[in-house]
Amino acid sequence: MTPLREYRWTFPSTEIPLEHLEKSKKLSDELGVSPVLTEILVKRGIDTFEGARSFFRPSLDNLHDPFLMDGMQLAVDRIVKAVADKEKILVYGDYDVDGTNGVALMWTFLNSIRANAEYYIPDRIKDGYGLSVAAVERAREHGIQLLISVDCGITAVKPVERATELGIDVIICDHHEPGDIIPSAHAVLDPLKPGCPYPYKTLCGCSVAFKLVQALSTHPSFQPMLEESNQTLLQYLDFVTLATTADIVNLTGENRVLVKLGLEVLNTNPHPGVHALIDTSGLKLGRITAGQIVFVLAPRINAVGRLGDATRAVELLTSESFTTALERAKVFEEENRNRRKIDEDTFIEAQELVENYLDIDNESAIILHQETWHPGVIGIVASRLVERYYRPTIMMTTVDGIAKGSARSVAGFDIYQALKRCEDKLVQFGGHKYAAGLSVELDRLDEFKEAFNEIAKELLTGDLLTPEIRVDAEIRLGEVTPKFVRVLNQFAPFGPGNMRPVFVARNVEIYGTPRIVGKNHLKFKVRSNGQIFDAIGFNLGGFIEKLLHGRRTADLAFSLDESDFAGEAVPQLKIKDIK
């Protein structure tokens, strides 16, 4: 049984500015919804009727002009020339969900404008991450004149130099943190690039490719072809939605527009490959949520790249026939089963190492290395260890005599910057605030571990090592009506930056007899002013004794969802913690 974890509950400031209260009250009157909900909207930056309308009913008109991104005009002009001259174009991507969907999107669009394009996804084990000198030289052998990288390239200084020497122009579409030197590519599209004026900074790699497609679709030479084949920007949004949600980037601003619209496409008219993936995973078209992408669809796309050739992901995503796609998707299902078995075995091994060799109460970080671990699952296992022990975690294996690994972090600890502070101990590294990849010489592993632990010890305060539940509002359960939950559900899609709101209700009566369901889930009922609500706490079975034999009232931290009762949607409390 998973041990119960101590959580910090943090509450919004009780000193709410008068201006804030006035905006919340005005919005509540205009929208006709609970002041509790409009208060949450205002705290999330939605404080006008127009802003609320864009939040609840976004359109493509809410997207930023793609030409605001530095380098966009250069990229468009170069692709226009390549298409006109029938040059050979290579779309080169990463092997994860973001990279494969970005490649599928870019390649599909290039085909629609009759470009001479092909694609390549590097092998995780043989090629490693990103654009390499070897890949550039191989591209030249195949006559490539223009290379478009998607979800990689921003740190590929030497590969881009080599491409230039060989007469290949490079357009980079990336969203990762740049290094100290920006590659001297023909065009570099990355909102995080120093000096880039693009107003939204947290796009995923596939979305940067989408912005390039958005810009290209305005060019006069391509519009007749797009009209002839009924191509619209909306039809690419299932790819963008899979990539954005799987890459765990902020679901605010432009990302939220793309995912909200993309979920409609994904649920009504997805590409055949996406449709097949949904069918074989056991999900139902019309009911797909962002959460289901993260936990069901994305792992299946990742699995083929983790255990073999990720090119198969692009082949599935770009399938024109549903029948062909269905056969390909069945392979994904099988590989995902295999991946889960390897994942579980590795997690058990890693957990034993932590329990037997680390003083977890006094360690600021978990750093593990085993040369036999499969490189395709160590990132997943690192995430599971973070969830289990709540410490920044680095899992490494040995590939070609080098320790290669994945790093995952806890809220508030920037693991990319922590790695940057000890980069003199690394062969290479790259990534984001909460997830990164790295390589270390085997004979410098201990040196790296010591340096990273010192940095973690310095930066991780006690609070950061205690997971936090951020409470959006305290409410009385009597305020929870079916309409309240219906409006709340329209805050979706939920994800970083727009999490499902968390509420606290005080002195709630525990009604009836709580019980354990499934593996370790706590199910019970609560009562307030004669109203009875169902409540479920996933992995909270450890509370059963306290609820059975302790006080019959409790403070609950929970989110709200709906469950089906006799064909009617009724509110259900999803319990986060009990005090």
Can you list the domains of the chain with their CATH numbers?
Answer: 8-57+471-578 (2.40.50.460), 62-332 (3.90.1640.30), 358-458 (3.10.310.30)
- The answer to whether residues 398 and 442 touch, using CB atoms and an 8 Å cutoff, is yes
Our separate counts of H helices and E strands in the chain read: 21, 18
Beginning with the edge strand found earlier in the chain, give each strand of the sheet holding 88-93 in spatial order: 116-120, 88-93, 146-150, 169-173, 187-189
C-alpha to C-alpha distance for 99 and 123, rounded to whole angstroms: 13
- Say what the alpha-carbon torsion angle 517, 518, 521, 522 is, to the nearest 10 degrees: 0
- DSSP bridge partners of 470: 10
Round the CA-based radius of gyration of the chain to a whole number and report it.
25
16-48 b/e with 16+ CB inside 10 Å = b? eeeeeeebbeebbeebebbebbbbbbbbbebbe
Q: How would DSSP label each residue in 426-473?
A: -SEEEE-SSEEEEEEEGGGHHHHHHHHHHHHHHH--TGGGS-EEE--E
pLDDT of residue 308: 80
pLDDT of residue 373: 96
pLDDT of residue 14: 65
C-alpha to C-alpha distance for 102 and 242, rounded to whole angstroms: 10
pLDDT of residue 207: 98
pLDDT of residue 431: 80
C-alpha to C-alpha distance for 169 and 163, rounded to whole angstroms: 7
- The answer to whether residues 10 and 468 touch, using CB atoms and an 8 Å cutoff, is yes
| Residues in CB range of 29: below 8 A, 6 or more apart | none
For the full predicted model, state whether its pTM sits above 0.85: yes
pLDDT of residue 149: 98
pLDDT of residue 143: 97
pLDDT of residue 407: 96
CB count in 10 Å sphere of residue 154: 27
- Say what the alpha-carbon torsion angle 495, 497, 498, 500 is, to the nearest 10 degrees: 70
Preceding amide of 197 cis, omega within 30: no
User: What does the pLDDT profile of the chain (579 residues) look like in tens digits?
Assistant: 556 788 999 998 766 677 878 899 999 999 999 999 999 999 999 999 999 999 999 999 999 999 999 999 999 999 999 999 999 999 999 999 999 999 999 999 999 999 999 999 998 777 777 899 999 999 999 999 999 999 999 999 999 999 999 999 999 999 998 989 999 999 999 999 999 999 999 999 999 999 999 999 999 999 888 887 777 899 999 999 999 999 989 999 999 999 999 999 999 999 999 999 999 999 999 999 999 999 999 999 998 888 788 999 999 999 999 999 999 999 999 999 998 999 999 999 999 999 999 998 888 999 999 999 999 899 999 999 999 999 999 999 999 899 999 999 998 999 999 999 999 999 999 888 888 999 999 999 999 999 999 999 999 987 888 899 999 999 999 999 889 999 999 999 999 999 999 999 999 999 989 999 998 999 999 998 888 999 999 999 999 988 888 778 999 999 998 876 656 667 899 999 999
C-alpha to C-alpha distance for 502 and 514, rounded to whole angstroms: 22
